[in-house]
Amino acid sequence: MVTNLCNSDTISSDFTSAMAAIHPDRVAAVPGSFNNRALIRIPVESDRVNLIVSAGGAGAPFPDSMVTCQAMADASVVGGKYAAPSAYDIYEAAKYIGSDKGYLLIYNNFMGDCLNNDMAAELMGIEGMKSSLIPYNDDCLSVDPKAPREERTGLLGQHFGIRIAALMAREGADLETLTDVIGRVRARTASLNVSFDTEKKLVELGRGISGEPARFVSDEDFSLEHAARWAYDYLVEDLAPKDDETLCVLVNRPFMANYEDLYIFSHALLKHATGRIPVRRMTPGHFGRHYYYYGFGVSMLSCPKDLVGYLKEQYATTSYIF
């Protein structure tokens, strides 16, 4: 169980204030903001498309990535405890940035996030601000595996899309191009949670971040290696990579999992891929979310050939800044 020692009623605004105070050369809070739950990357570059990423109360790692990485989101809006950010906070962030090139609104495909981003886009539209909505639906086990992809919710796959969109936006890509490209990236991304029931010695696939039951459970081999093999095989089957695509994998270490297990699990996945479809880019790190069980989030991008160059440099949100 993860414990927050801070005030749970004000955690998001306190966090925003803290980030802005500690990294005043990298991020800023929106002056006069109603809720103070949005961080803006500075210097603001309003002459290009800006990326606004929003996530629930567990979305704190997105601001972290803005501080630790040169090209990720331009604004990060977090919700209150367990809740999607309010439409008004997203709108306020866009208004502060003031881009006339438009905004890419990236979020996970949960109902609250969808409703608030929809409404934020409406509020922005009233004032003439252009936006595109990119709900990420990469969690291939969030719904019945036979259900249409549109019904899936999101996990961590949006990191790939954010990275590519951020770099392309800096090259001057317009909103329509970015919407199209990130739509393609999203369609080639799949994620799942791998978890371990340490009492019953079970490996699980597809447990939800709010405790939703796992989709698949295995008692045959309680090991990191078995879990890594299973995750790889499932994701490859789901994505069916094409010959000219490149596999990129991100492994998230939630708070409960230790670094040693993260690297051993990631290495096991790489070894298993050898002789199959190889993983060209492996990024283990702490990308966020409170999980209430021991395990990892695994996201795989079967990257289209024309976009691989954008993923050459790696980043991880480990908050080591010296």
Q: Is 259 in the site for other proteins (CB under 8 A)?
A: no
Residue with token string 């954008």: 310
> Pattern 197-216, binding to other proteins, x per CB under 8 A?
-----------x-x-xx---
* Site residue total, other proteins (CB under 8 A): 31
Count of C-beta atoms within a 10 Å radius of residue 63: 30
CA dihedral defined by 283, 284, 287, 290, rounded to 10 degrees? 150
CA-wise closest residue to 75 among 109, 100, 99: 99
Q: Is 143 in the site for other proteins (CB under 8 A)?
A: yes
CB nearer to other proteins: pick between 206 and 285? 206
Coarse DSSP helix, strand, coil percentages of the chain, rounded to the nearest 5 percent: 35, 20, 45
- Please report which helix (H) or strand (E) contains residue 133, including its range: strand 131-136
CB nearer to other proteins: pick between 81 and 184? 81
Residue 223 phi, psi dihedral angles, 5° rounding: -150, 160
Q: Is 88 in the site for other proteins (CB under 8 A)?
A: yes
- Please report which helix (H) or strand (E) contains residue 49, including its range: none
Identify whether the C-beta of residue 221 lies closer than 8 Å to the C-beta of residue 232: no
Q: Is 87 in the site for other proteins (CB under 8 A)?
A: yes
Q: Is 7 in the site for other proteins (CB under 8 A)?
A: no
Interactions with other proteins, residue window 55-84 (CB under 8 A): 56-57, 79-84
CB nearer to other proteins: pick between 62 and 160? 62
Q: Is 149 in the site for other proteins (CB under 8 A)?
A: no
Q: Is 118 in the site for other proteins (CB under 8 A)?
A: yes
CB of 146 to other proteins, least distance (A): 14
> Pattern 152-191, binding to other proteins, x per CB under 8 A?
-x--------------------------------------
Choose which of 16, 20, 30, 35 interacts with other proteins (CB under 8 A): 35
Query: Please, what's the b/e burial string for 202-213 (b: 16 or more CB within 10 A of its CB; e: otherwise)?
Result: ebbbbbbbeeee
In a 10 Å sphere around its CB, with 0-12 CB exposed, 13-18 middle and 19+ buried, how is residue 156 labelled?
buried
CB nearer to other proteins: pick between 110 and 293? 110
Here the tokens at position 203 are: 């490996």
Q: Rule CB under 8 A: which residues touch other proteins?
A: 8-9, 34-35, 56-57, 79-89, 110-112, 115-116, 118-119, 142-143, 153, 208, 210, 212-213
